[in-house]
Amino acid sequence: MNARAEPDRPNPDALLRKAAQEGHGRLKVFLGAAPGVGKTYEMLTEAQERRRAGVDVVVGIVETHGRAETEAQIRGLEIIPRRQTNYHGRRIDEMDIDAILARAPRLVLVDELAHTNAPGSRHEKRYQDVEELLAAGIDVYSTVNVQHLESVNDVVASFTKVRVRETLPDRVIENADIEVIDIPPDELIERLKQGKVYVPEEASRALDSFFSKSNLTALRELALRRTAQAIDAEMLEYVRANALAGNWAAGERMVVAVSELPGAAELVRAAKRLADAWRGSWTAVHIETPRSGRFTDAENAQLAATLHLASQLGAQVATVPAESVVEGLARFATEARATQLIVGKSTRSRWFELRHGSVVDRLVREMPGIAVHVLPMQGHQVSHKGTRKPAEGKWGQPGEYLIAFALVSLVALLGAALSTAGNIANAGLLFLLPVMIAALRYGLRVGVATSLVASLAYNFFFLPPTHTFTIQDPQNILTVLVLLAVAVTSSQLAARVRDQALLAQRSAAQNSSLAGFARQLTAMSDPDDLSQLLCTEVSRLLRVNTVLLMTIEGQLAIKAAVPAQTQLEALEQAASRWSYDHNLPAGHDTETLTASDWQFRPLAVTGRVLGVIGLSRADAGSPVRSDQLPMLLSLLDQAALAFQRAALEEEMAFVAQLKERDRLRSALLSSVSHDLRTPLTTILGALGAMHPSSVEEKGYLSEARNEAERLNRFVGNLLDMARIEAGALRQLIEPVDLTEAIAAAVHDLRRTLGNQPIDLQVPPDLPFVMVDPQLFHHCLINLIENAAKHGGPKTPITVMARRTPAGLTLSVIDKGAGIPEGAESRIFETFERIEGSDRKGGSGLGLAIVKGFAEAMGLDVSAANRPETGGACFSLHFPEARLVKGSTEQ
């Protein structure tokens, strides 16, 4: 495959990064070259414009430094009160991140992004507070001076002679919108003299040191250069996401290759200086080859430290697996659209270069479209003595040599036995067999040693004069040399095949572990078993202590652990809670609560956090090495899917139970309502045909008729609810006059209402509504009957209709005790009886039927209290589409 081939499809990582920004807030940074250029003023000015445009803007923290024009810009903006912290008897005011999260504005202003928080704060740096706000979907405006960026900190110190202590990693502003606030140095110096930046005493000292024209000019250049890099990175991300051809080298893009050697740190710093000189973006990449598996713990730690340094200096960091360094660098440089490659050249022996060749020479030949910079790594001669793990020592074990030499002896015996049958001209070829076996099985060094012994054995036993190392015939000298060369070459080829096989074996072992873990997960559905399996497998594969925390009754508690008796201290509990709440790592080797001995990682699927897994080592070392992280993430992803599957299975079983219960209830409702309808009709007819002779009998008969009618309505409600739940409602939509519909409902309730007054507030000019007359009639009956039951005797019931911008609203208002707070929507549920109020009587079906019929007709229904007059208000909302145009009565 051609390493320089242009990509023909969108870059998956770019698409994933783009998708990851969905739901996150956007960060805009107002970047300046020095204090006093107007960053805070410009941020407040733009915030005021956003506020006037209707955006919800609050001030998280803004430092005006006593500048009147800046303080004037804050007026009209809501200010979140600061959190006060006492430190050594001194009160320190900090931004209250919890108050901002609870307020949940659309945009928050956070000044001085590189600020260090007071001790005891949740985060050490303010930029970490901002990252939490962004993760919550809140946009942030912030300010920063270019000298506070970690990547230029040493450069600024070199010419200003001032080391800035408050810095932030360049990655914080990589995805931010950057606006440069720039004014000429002479104008800034004039502002300083006028006291618009510092008080006069401080301004005089600043003019003599930091605020010289040369310093300000250099800082201004750094700010503009950093902005140009951000624009180039944004363009490159778009190019990758949309699979556009070409390297789009509007700016220089550099790749520096780092290794496990101590000199790699110097190489990274040199690459940073070179990137600054070229004003380009840069990436530090490590190519993981088969020999990477033989790194010692010290070499792995050195590599991790080098990559961390590169990240702190503003580089993007990557690790790429490949069979060779050249192949990996060529592929990565192509994908990164790099224009320059920076590599280090260590002092290696002649013998090493003869055997392995020069990586630098191969890079120059195989990457003609990229400029290759070779920087010497002085004082770091490559010597691997004692640097590899004993189990995989490069010189092998004594037993391996004994076995290899024994094979040579067997071949010599075999050759001697064959020579008795006659002269064997090519007996030397037999000695290639033990060389190949030794190289394949034990590696290059054992193979080379075996080739030397095989050549000597061939000379001693088969070349005249035999049983001596003297070679009589000059032609035989050439034979021995050729045999030795072929043996050494075969050893190298066999050793290379062995290394590739070992790499494939490690990869296969990892894949086998993941596949075995997946098989075990599919056989389990109990959350307790899944929890224990996850902890056990992670502990076994990564050789760490593990603990899994999940929410139990609203609290994050230990679900499983290895060892089983593991307990967490208060700091670890805080780190696990933060990781759970923010779906981000916390604890050891992270950027949050780093004092913890445990590292916590969220167990999440589709953005929903299911739990948190913690990892630690008995020796207090890094819980997860960089090469172990992909396996850990794979294990967590598989486990999260298994937990989600188990939860879905439980929910499906519960839904099946609900369906069966609803089916039985609907059948019961339908059966009861039909079985009672016939005898009720007979009873009502019989009561209507009776003619009492006395006043007492008339009273009994009237009471019996009222109760029979109420029971008939109850049975009708049962039947209506069964029809709603079965989806068997049939509608005949036609224009209905509200006044006539209300009058018909009141007439049918005349016995129930008695002398209770009805206050009808329906303007005569309201339009007709498009509804089913029968269903609408049932809605009105249930609403008015509900008001009569809970409004108190002799109190008026108000039926009011009014036009709204969105349509029309019809309300039924009583004078009762109202609805308990929080029960406004629950009151419409089937068989719902509200505790703590007078609304306990009845079947709990009337309002549920109102909601079902209203929604069937395309109406909305709501309930609320009337604090100004007392009582409850139930409203039907008719959208504009349900009103008859031109039907207004005069």
Alpha-carbon gap, residue 196 to 818, rounded angstroms: 61
Beta-carbon count within 10 A of 449 CB: 20
Alpha-carbon gap, residue 397 to 409, rounded angstroms: 19
Among residues 451, 459, 452, which one has the least CA distance to residue 433? 451
Question: What's the pLDDT at 538?
Answer: 82
- End-to-end C-alpha distance for the chain, whole angstroms: 84
Q: Rounded to the nearest 5 degrees, what angle is found at the Cα of 246, between the Cα atoms of 244 and 247?
A: 110
Scan for tokens 């309808």, then name that residue: 677
Beta-carbon count within 10 A of 168 CB: 22
Beta pairing partners, 253: 281
Alpha-carbon gap, residue 829 to 849, rounded angstroms: 9
Residue spans of the domains in the chain: they are 12-241, 253-389, 395-501, 527-624, 639-728, 729-882
Question: What's the pLDDT at 109?
Answer: 94
Q: Read off φ and ψ for residue 491, nearest 5 degrees.
A: -65, -45
Residue 450 one-letter amino acid? T
Plot region of 125 (φ>0 → left; ψ -120 to 50 → alpha; else → beta): beta
Question: What's the pLDDT at 30?
Answer: 92
Beta pairing partners, 371: 340
- Asked whether the whole model's pTM tops 0.85, one would answer no
Alpha-carbon gap, residue 759 to 798, rounded angstroms: 5
Q: What is the CA radius of gyration of the chain?
A: 41
Alpha-carbon gap, residue 715 to 709, rounded angstroms: 10
Beta-carbon count within 10 A of 425 CB: 8
User: How many residues comprise the chain?
Assistant: 890
Beta-carbon count within 10 A of 727 CB: 7
One DSSP character per residue, 222-268 reads HHHHHHHHHHHHHHHHHHHHTT--S---SS-EEEEE--SSTTHHHHH
- What sign has the CA pseudo-torsion 694, 700, 703, 704? negative
Q: What DSSP character marks residue 55?
A: -
Question: What's the pLDDT at 693?
Answer: 74
Please check whether residue 387 is in contact with residue 299, taking contact to mean a CB–CB distance below 8 angstroms. yes
Alpha-carbon gap, residue 752 to 73, rounded angstroms: 65
Alpha-carbon gap, residue 128 to 117, rounded angstroms: 10
Among residues 172, 171, 170, 152, which one has the least CA distance to residue 162? 152
- Tell me the CATH architecture of domain 729-882: 2-Layer Sandwich (3.30)
Tokens of 635: 């294990």
Among residues 830, 719, 850, 861, which one has the least CA distance to residue 779? 850
Strands (E), 517-620: 545-552, 555-562, 586-587, 599-605, 608-616
Alpha-carbon gap, residue 213 to 408, rounded angstroms: 79
Alpha-carbon gap, residue 660 to 62, rounded angstroms: 60
The pairing of strands 90-94 and 555-562 is unpaired
Furthest CA-CA distance within the chain: 153
Beta pairing partners, 181: 32
- Tell me the CATH architecture of domain 253-389: 3-Layer(aba) Sandwich (3.40)
Question: What's the pLDDT at 833?
Answer: 57
The CATH classification number of 527-624 equals 3.30.450.40
Question: What's the pLDDT at 889?
Answer: 45
Domains 527-624 and 639-728 share a fold: no
Please check whether residue 28 is in contact with residue 176, taking contact to mean a CB–CB distance below 8 angstroms. yes
Please check whether residue 124 is in contact with residue 117, taking contact to mean a CB–CB distance below 8 angstroms. yes
The helix/strand/coil state of 168 is strand
Question: What's the pLDDT at 837?
Answer: 46
Scan for tokens 């870059």, then name that residue: 11
Alpha-carbon gap, residue 746 to 326, rounded angstroms: 90
| H-type alpha helices, 463-569 | 474-522, 527-542
Plot region of 859 (φ>0 → left; ψ -120 to 50 → alpha; else → beta): beta
Say if domain 12-241 classifies as CATH 3.40.50.300.
yes
pLDDT along the chain (890 residues), means of 10: 43 52 81 84 91 91 82 88 79 88 92 86 87 91 86 71 78 82 78 61 51 69 68 58 51 81 83 77 81 72 76 74 80 79 73 62 76 71 43 59 79 74 62 71 69 74 71 63 65 64 60 66 76 83 86 82 85 86 82 81 79 82 69 78 78 77 68 68 75 76 75 68 62 88 88 83 90 88 86 84 91 86 78 50 67 87 82 90 70
Where b means 16+ CB within 10 Å and e means fewer, 694-708 reads: eeeeeeeeeeebeeb
Alpha-carbon gap, residue 782 to 774, rounded angstroms: 13
Distances (CA, A) of 211 to 74, 144, 181, 238: 28, 17, 17, 39
One DSSP character per residue, 180-208 reads EE---HHHHHHHHHTTSSS-HHHHHHHHH
Fold held by 639-728: Helix Hairpins (1.10.287)
Question: What's the pLDDT at 214?
Answer: 67
Alpha-carbon gap, residue 783 to 847, rounded angstroms: 7
